[in-house]
Homo-oligomer: A and B are copies of this chain.
Amino acid sequence: MTTINKTVKRADPKVDFGAIVAPLEGYLKELDQFLKDQVELLEPEVQSQVAYILNHSGKRLRPILVALSGWDSGLKNQNELIRLGAILELVHLATLVHDDILDEASIRHGHPTAANKYGKDAAVLIGDVLFAHALCLASDFETTEVCRAVALATSRVCSGEISQTYSRQQLNFDRAHYYRVIELKTAELFRLACEMGAKVAGKSETTCNALRTYGIHLGCAYQIFDDVVDLFVSEAKAGKTLGTDLQSGKFTLPLLVLIESLPEKERLEWIESYQSGDPQAVALLVGYLSEYPVLASVKEAFNESIIKARSALNEINSSEPVAKELFALIDFLCAQFEAI
């Protein structure tokens, strides 16, 4: 996944990611220190590799969701929210390390991936160590609730990735399948961050459930945005990224919409050509892109998720206050989409 505000031009200068997370400055600083401290708790054989991954990671979006969901006129259980944020970040980084092996990605956040720097074999094991350490941290909570939630979510994220891997062979082009995959592979950790952040901060069950719903739909919207960025970047680079996504079996939403848009004859012919392994199949689909504009339909799907996320927050607002930054994250994502 790309980071939110790196690849596209900002549409509205008022919508600024830095301003949204400014109230979390102390939290994010302590989180970084906490993550650095974890390295020394690992076996010497893996410390430098894990330190490298932590030094070249992204915006800490999932810990930010943890902190904002647990926000209650400040951060009351800050230490527990830092530990939970670190767990979310480690699980996320573990999935990225393993994804980059699968995708044969060589660069992530502007630096060589673990697979590229340490070799694929070591990257499999380094990902495992990150997973395992996240679960060690989860066992520092008083009850087994966090362990169970993190382990279950991890299993679901990996199941989503497997499902995506198989979509290619199964030529599974329907939207229900698409949403199933992104709810597992992307929205699951957003959901976990929001729901558990609220729980750890002692919020009511109604609020936890509403933040759970917010997390799922924000996650889906984020993935749809990410899909569109991939397409946007690929257009600028003569279809390169688009081709890579297709070859690796990632049917992003714009591509699904495109396949849906084709007249039946062209659609069946294209599917046959792709299925037979025709090397021209990808170029053919890219060619269709200029004839069948897909963005309006993709934006409709994006907006559906955005509306659901916003409505979940409004539901909370009627009973107890909710961090306004959670609304701002929605607005920010919408502005990023508009700027494409």
Instruction: Enumerate chain A interface residues (CB-CB to B < 8 A).
Output: 42-43, 45-46, 49, 94, 98, 101-102, 119, 121-122, 124-129, 131-133, 135-136, 138-145, 147-148, 150-152, 154-156, 158-163, 165-166, 184
Q: Is the CB of B122 within 8 A of A43?
A: no
Minimal beta-carbon separation of A123 from chain B (angstroms): 9
Contacts of A128 in B (CB 8 A): 94, 98, 127-128, 131, 154-155, 158
Q: Is the CB of A158 within 8 A of B125?
A: yes
In the bound complex, CA of A132 to CA of B145 (Å): 14
Contacts of A159 in B (CB 8 A): 42-43, 45-46, 125, 129
Contacts of A152 in B (CB 8 A): 132, 136
Given A122-B162, A124-B102: A138 touches B129 (CB 8 Å cut-off): no
Q: Is the CB of B155 within 8 A of A147?
A: no
CB within 8 A of A132: which of B125, B151, B160?
Answer: B151
Q: Is the CB of B155 within 8 A of A144?
A: no
Minimal beta-carbon separation of A152 from chain B (angstroms): 6
Minimal beta-carbon separation of A302 from chain B (angstroms): 25
Q: Is the CB of A155 within 8 A of B124?
A: no
Minimal beta-carbon separation of A236 from chain B (angstroms): 28
Contacts of A42 in B (CB 8 A): 155, 159
The 7 A-B residue pairs whose C-beta atoms are closest, nearest first, are A139-B148, A135-B151, A43-B159, A132-B155, A139-B147, A132-B154, A139-B144
CB within 8 A of A165: which of B125, B131, B138, B161?
Answer: B125
Q: List 11 A-B contacts (CB under 8 A).
A: A43-B156, A43-B163, A121-B165, A125-B158, A125-B159, A125-B165, A128-B128, A129-B155, A129-B158, A138-B151, A140-B144
| Shortest Cβ distance from A152 into B: residue | B136
In the bound complex, CA of A143 to CA of B144 (Å): 6
Q: Is the CB of A136 within 8 A of B158?
A: no
Contacts of A102 in B (CB 8 A): 121, 124-125
